[in-house]
Each structure stands twice: as C-alpha cells, then as structure tokens.
C-alpha cells in the first residue's frame, strides 16, 4: 500500500467512528466559549488506564474541557472578598497624612517608568500572534470579573538579568502584567489562569499605587539602586510610610489569592500553583495533599506559639511575598468557611457580587 493510501485510510478511520473505537464529540469550552471537536475513546475500565488518560483541552485557551459551569459576573465589588488583614493594613497606610501624593510622585519618577521601558524593550508582548493561549487566559480572567484587559508581557530574565519564576503587576496609571518564562514553563494551564487572576486582583483591589511603591523600597534595600540619585529620592520617604507599606504588601497577596480562586473556581488549582512556587513540580516526589497538611500544621503553630509567630513575621519581612504555607492556609480557611463573606457564598451569587450586608468596608 502506497504512502498516499495509508494517509487516506488514516483520515477515513479518524473521522468514521463506525470503523474505529473513537467517539466524536462537540464540546464548548466553559472558559472561553470556543466550540471544540474532540475524539475520545470509550471509557476505560482499568483504573490505571483511566488515571493515565488526559482530559481534552480547548484549542484556544488550552484549559481542560468540561461540562461543569464556569461562573462569570457583570460586576464584582472587590470589598466583597478583600482579606480582612489587607483591609486593616491599607486603612493604616492611608491614615498617614499626604501618603498618596508622596507615593504618586515617587513611583512616577522611578519604578513605573523603568519597568515600562524595560518590558517594551526586552520582553515579548502577549497577543493573538504571540503566546495566544496566555492572551485567551487573560481574556477569561477579565470576562469573569468584567474588567478591562491590561497589557501582558513574557520575560525570560528578571530586572537585573537573573532567571525568575514569578509574575508581577505594576503601573498606577496604566497597569500591565509581566510573567517570567520560567513560571510559564513550570505551571499547568489552569495554574497559569490562577496566576493571571492573582495579578488582575492587584488591579481590581486598587493595590498598584501602594504595591509599586513597596517594590521600589525593596529594590532600595536589596540592590545597588540605593546608592544612586534615585535611591536618595527613595530615602526621603519617611520611616512610617516604609513600615506601613511593607507590612501591607504581604497582606495584599492574600486578597489576590482570593481573586484567583474566584476565577479558577477550584481551591486545589490555586494551592498547587503555590506549592510549585515553594518546591518545584508536583510529581512522585512532591505531593499537594502533603503540602496542604504542612500548611495546616504551620497555621496551628502560628496561632498557638508566640516564638513561631515572631520568627515568621521577622523572616517574612525580608520577602516581597508571604510564605506559601501561610497563603495556602488562608485559602483553605476561606474556601471552607460558611459565613456571608466566604468563597462558597460568593461563588453562588448570580450576575453580581456585592458587599455582604455584614461586611465592614
């Protein structure tokens, strides 16, 4: 049989379920609404074969196809889900006289301008032509929360040339998101959706003025930037503002983890992304369930032991993000609560998510 005949027979069998075991289905992606044609085999009876069989993915956004609903809202009030510690720390920060004016001048001259130039010159801007699946995922996040779509970049290296496995959002006036390629390569498609939703949370919760200023201060403390004229400008910021900014920055991450959960609508996806940031890929050597148990133990020790709480706060103060185990423990508590501000109550709302009657804004 010639090569052409072989190809013709393959195509015939591929599209004719009567001569093969394959079943053709039409599935609409619950995330991006693309209609996909899927060829699948009959349900496996062997548990091992069933475990190894992968779920089909959408050809546009690459997210798993499923008949489960994905909830979207015409309006989401960020005050409905902001973490109480974030709200409290931000109120303390805003109580400092003139803080908004000082910080807007600060970041306008320094970090925001630097990052905008850096990423337009040295990173890949995501679009339908470049990293199209990331562009689709960002659209899903924005459609879920009904938010305008910011620019998104993918960068190979961090600001000063090192490899990074992270993401960040900056730009108080015109926000944009940056994903490092190490993160894109390490995470699954659902985990990438969670990361993009987390970063959009900084925009939705109006974090960017204070967050950009806090990152600027961390650069001053950790790099040679503090010895330049820019560093002199940064040092003019008063000590109370520095302390309040860095204290609030950690708390803001907890709110954005909640944003990620509202978009992904699966706590395990958010927690698996955080686990990978802590210790690498989930495989036979790394278990999500074991890390969740570790997070529960951490939370218990943090609440019951004063020295554990003291050292946790001291060590976390040197980082731009809170410890992954703490973030997972907070996601666990929010996803398991039953109150009016809980995840389970908010996800059940149709059309709009407003501030619950008992919430304090």
* Pairs from 46-50 (Cβ < 8 Å, separation ≥ 24): none
User: Checking phi first, is residue 206 left (phi over 0); if not, alpha (psi -120 to 50) or beta?
Assistant: left
Where does 187-323 have alpha helices with state H? 189-204, 208-222, 229-235, 239-264, 267-279, 288-304, 306-316
Q: How far apart are CA 210 and CA 213, in angstroms?
A: 5
CA atoms within 13 A on the CB side of 251: 18
The single-letter DSSP state of residue 1 is -
Query: Is 3 tagged catalytic?
Result: no
Nearest to 194 by CA among 114, 121, 128, 140: 140
| DSSP per-residue letters across 228-244 | SHHHHHHHTS-HHHHHH
3-class secondary structure for 307-355?
Answer: HHHHHHHHHHCCCCCCCHHHHHHHHHHHHHCCCCCCHHHHHCCCCEECC
Q: How far apart are CA 129 and CA 138, in angstroms?
A: 14
Q: How far apart are CA 58 and CA 121, in angstroms?
A: 32
- Return all residues near 220 (Cβ < 8 A) that are at least 6 apart: 226, 231, 234, 235
Catalytic entry in 112, 190, 199, 330:
199
The single-letter DSSP state of residue 178 is E
Q: How far apart are CA 66 and CA 70, in angstroms?
A: 10
Q: How far apart are CA 106 and CA 108, in angstroms?
A: 6
Task: Locate 31 and state its tokens.
Answer: 């995330």
SS3 content of the chain, % helix, strand, coil (to 5): 55, 10, 35
Q: Which residues are identified as catalytic?
A: 199
């Amino acid at each position: 049989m010639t090569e052409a005949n072989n190809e013709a027979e393959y195509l015939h069998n591929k599209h004719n379920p009567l001569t093969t075991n394959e079943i053709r289905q039409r599935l609409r992606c619950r995330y991006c609404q693309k209609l996909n044609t899927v060829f699948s085999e009959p349900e496996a009876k062997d548990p091992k074969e069933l475990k190894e069989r992968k779920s089909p993915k959408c050809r546009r956004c690459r997210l798993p196809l499923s008949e489960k609903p994905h909830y979207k809202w015409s309006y989401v009030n960020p005050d409905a889900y902001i973490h109480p510690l974030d709200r409290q720390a931000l109120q303390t920060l805003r109580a400092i006289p003139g803080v908004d004016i000082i910080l807007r001048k600060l970041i306008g001259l320094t970090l925001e301008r630097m990052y905008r130039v850096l990423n337009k010159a040295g990173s890949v801007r995501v679009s339908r032509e470049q990293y199209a699946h990331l562009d689709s995922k960002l659209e899903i996040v924005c459609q879920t929360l009904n938010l305008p779509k910011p620019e998104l970049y993918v960068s190979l290296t961090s600001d000063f040339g090192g490899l990074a496995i992270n993401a960040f959002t900056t730009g108080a006036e015109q926000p944009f998101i940056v994903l490092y390629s190490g993160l894109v390569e390490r995470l699954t498609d659902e985990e990438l959706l969670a990361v993009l939703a987390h970063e959009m949370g900084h925009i939705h919760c109006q974090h960017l003025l204070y967050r950009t200023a806090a990152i600027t201060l961390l650069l001053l403390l950790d790099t040679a930037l503090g010895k330049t004229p820019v560093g002199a400008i940064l040092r003019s910021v008063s000590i109370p503002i520095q302390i309040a900014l860095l204290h609030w920055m950690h708390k803001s991450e907890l709110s954005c983890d909640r944003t990620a959960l509202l978009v992904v609508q699966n706590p395990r996806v958010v927690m698996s992304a955080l686990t990978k940031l802590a210790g690498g890929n989930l495989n036979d050597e790394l278990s999500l369930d074991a890390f969740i148990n570790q997070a529960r133990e951490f939370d218990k020790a943090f609440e019951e032991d004063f020295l554990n709480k003291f050292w946790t706060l001291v060590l976390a103060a040197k980082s731009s993000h809170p410890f992954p185990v703490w973030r997972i423990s907070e996601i666990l508590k929010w996803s398991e609560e039953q109150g009016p501000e809980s995840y389970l109550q908010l996800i059940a709302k149709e059309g709009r998510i407003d501030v619950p009657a008992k919430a304090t804004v």
